[in-house]
Amino acid sequence: MVWKLSPVSVWRHRIPRYRLIGKECKKCGKHHYPPKLACPYCGSRDLKNIELPRSGIIETYTVIYEVGEEFRHKAPVVIGLVKLDDGTRVIAPITDVAEDELEIGLRVEATFRRIRDGDHFGVIGYGLSFRPIRTNVSKTSS
Amino acid sequence: MSKIYIGGVGLNRVGRHFKKDIVDLAYEVSLEAINEAGIEPDAVIISNSLGNVLQKQNNLAQYISSSIGLRGKTAYHVEAGDGSGGAAIHIAYTLLKAKIASSVLVVGVEKMTDYPSHVTHTALSQLLNYEYEAYYGATLSGIAALIMRYYMKKYEVSRDAVSEWPVLMHYNASKNPYAQIRKTITKENVKESQIIADPLTLFDISPIGDGAAAVLLVGEDYEHQLEEKPEVFLDTVVHHAYELELTLREDLAALPTVRETVDLALKKANLRIQDIDVIELHDSFTITGLLILEEAGLAERGRAAYLLSDGRFRHGDKPEVNLSGGLKARGNPIGATGVYQVAEVAMQLRGAFPGLQSNSPEIGLVINMSGIGSSVSSIVIRKR
């Protein structure tokens, strides 16, 4: 069974997916992601697009060994639930990290990555992954 | 108010039925339910989730109902992930309450073993938000793992403590002839088994299996058609739908959707949770089993596992929880699961469950859920 990525669907989701565009509720002020047409917290349909912060902390994470078919060659897949600096939550792969570095509270930043390989239609699925924020520079210089 | 009776039930043992297709499985249980009730239904609800992916078959209600000798009836297919069964019962209940139908056959059926497990996992990941969760490689088990890690850290619950759940479920299932896995396990087995999505191991997730269950429901005005007066009736059925995404939930270690529907179902039935004798709840994962106990008001937050180690919720307690072995060990044939739960509670109330039988229960509760709470059905079943 081949799961095909739709070229049209990949194109349609490019803005919220690549630029991390969520929604802000004009009534209760809360942000959410992925973007909906009604606020998941107060139900208001009066929303506006908002570019979300690209850094946050890992609130919880998992290392998935029993992956779906299209991720078998990449297994295990590390998936994090990232709480962005404004409190909005995002599910995304965690990348550039050793398994023993993973911990709740780890600071991470978004990075543009290839998520899924070309398939039947030659479509490559891109998206955001999150990587640890490495502070190689000494504290005095920051 | 007119009562909706359970006139007949039928169950298959959950497992790998390589020789049977989706119609064969549905046929056996439908016939059992019809024969027991002694009447043919005038409407059929087929509950199935993965058939259009794994069997590549749509038009499912028409396909199955006409294949099993029920052509020319009202027939619907209901899909709500592993909450399909509860949703199907709700529709049947509604048709009967409205007296649009006099008897409705609800058939839950799922055929999950036609492909290797990674294909089935891909199909199951369609229970998530496909574009913003599954797209990135998240699986249903993966999302449950995110919740479990968060819960264990927040409430400082150890690996061994949460393992109380699968150990109890496997014990209960070892007595149930319809259970997929009839072997007892230890906490060490749970800890040392294959990691599926860390921290979830093989024994924290419900197994992949084929299964079918049927219940034949009948309205009070038509009950005289039955050969024997049914002993149990559906008191209340509540079904609500919510967001699919974990990211949109305010507390990651909660299933507010369960609390809301259980509270409403109990209120409508004029009952408290303490009145319930037997419960079949939706432990698709160790963590969902524990969270549902907490949301149903049977344990404080973070305490469910400790109550289990104190001996609560097993055979002989009140309430007795998942005497079938639950999704964990009876099995979780996705679209059929909710119908199994209703059939099992009905059998308990009749005193006819062939596994661990509750001692003269009067009131039962089913909690059937899709995904990690994207829909929940809470169903109160009583003896007449």
**pLDDT tops 60 at residue A138:** no
Contact between B365 and B279 under an 8 Å Cβ cutoff? The reply is yes
Residues 35-74 of A with CB under 8 A from B: 36, 40-41, 59-72, 74
* Dist. CA B87–CA B336, nearest whole Å: 11
The closest CB to that of A34, out of B122, B132, B139, belongs to B132
Q: Measure the CA dihedral B31/B37/B39/B44, to 10°.
A: -60
Q: How many CA atoms are closer than 13 Å to the CA of B310, on its beta-carbon side? A: 9
Tokens of residue A22, six digits = 């969520």
Mutate: best of A67, A74, A113, partner B, most B CBs <10 A: A67
- Whether B197 and A63 lie within 8 Å, measured CB to CB: yes
Q: Could you tell me what percent of chain A has a pLDDT over 90?
A: 77
Q: Where does the pLDDT of residue A131 fall: very low under 50, low under 70, confident under 90, or very high at 90 and above?
A: very high
CB neighbourhood size of B197 (10 A): 29
* Dist. CA A108–CA A61, nearest whole Å: 12
**pLDDT tops 80 at residue A2:** no
Domains parsed from chain B with CATH numbers: 4-115+208-233 (3.40.47.10), 124-204+234-383 (3.40.47.10)
Which is higher by pLDDT, A139 or B7?
Answer: B7
Chain segment A92-119, per-residue pLDDT in tens: 999 999 999 999 999 999 999 999 887 6
Per-residue confidence (pLDDT) for residue A142, from 0 to 100: 40
Question: Which residues on chain B are in Cβ contact (under 8 Å) with A88?
Answer: 247
Greatest C-alpha distance within chain A: 55
The closest CB to that of A40, out of B125, B149, B243, belongs to B243
Closest approach of B148 to chain A, Cα-based (Å): 9
Q: Is A94 on the interface with B (CB under 8 A)?
A: no
Which amino acid, residue B177? P
Query: Which neighbouring-strand residues pair with B76?
Result: B45
Per-residue confidence (pLDDT) for residue A134, from 0 to 100: 87
Tens-binned pLDDT, residue by residue, of chain B (384 aa): 689 999 999 999 999 999 999 999 999 999 999 999 999 999 999 999 999 999 999 999 999 999 999 999 999 999 999 999 999 999 999 999 999 999 999 999 999 999 999 899 999 999 999 999 999 999 999 999 999 999 999 999 999 999 999 999 999 999 999 999 999 999 999 999 999 999 999 999 999 999 999 999 999 888 777 878 899 999 999 999 999 999 999 999 999 999 999 999 999 999 999 999 999 999 999 999 999 999 999 999 999 999 999 999 999 999 999 999 999 999 999 999 999 999 999 999 999 999 999 999 999 999 999 999 999 999 999 998
Per-residue confidence (pLDDT) for residue A141, from 0 to 100: 42
Tokens of residue B49, six digits = 């989730």
Per-residue confidence (pLDDT) for residue B229, from 0 to 100: 85
Tokens of residue B265, six digits = 């179902």
* Dist. CA B250–CA B92, nearest whole Å: 33
Q: What is the mean pLDDT of chain A?
A: 91
- Whether A62 and B199 lie within 8 Å, measured CB to CB: yes
**pLDDT tops 50 at residue A122:** yes
Tokens of residue B99, six digits = 């007296």
Chain segment A16-53, per-residue pLDDT in tens: 999 999 999 999 999 999 999 999 999 999 999 999 99
Contact between B333 and B342 under an 8 Å Cβ cutoff? The reply is no
- Whether B198 and A72 lie within 8 Å, measured CB to CB: no
Contact between B245 and B27 under an 8 Å Cβ cutoff? The reply is no
> Whose CA is closest to B260, among B364, B343, B332, B367?
B367
Complex ipTM value = 0.94
Domains parsed from chain A with CATH numbers: 7-133 (2.40.50.840)
Per-residue confidence (pLDDT) for residue A3, from 0 to 100: 61
Closest approach of A132 to chain B, Cα-based (Å): 18
Contact between B15 and B180 under an 8 Å Cβ cutoff? The reply is yes
Q: Is A11 on the interface with B (CB under 8 A)?
A: no
The average pLDDT across A122-136 equals: 91
Per-residue confidence (pLDDT) for residue A121, from 0 to 100: 77
- Whether A68 and B146 lie within 8 Å, measured CB to CB: no
Tokens of residue B28, six digits = 């056996």
CA angle B181, B185, B189 (to 5 degrees): 115
Tokens of residue B202, six digits = 């093989």
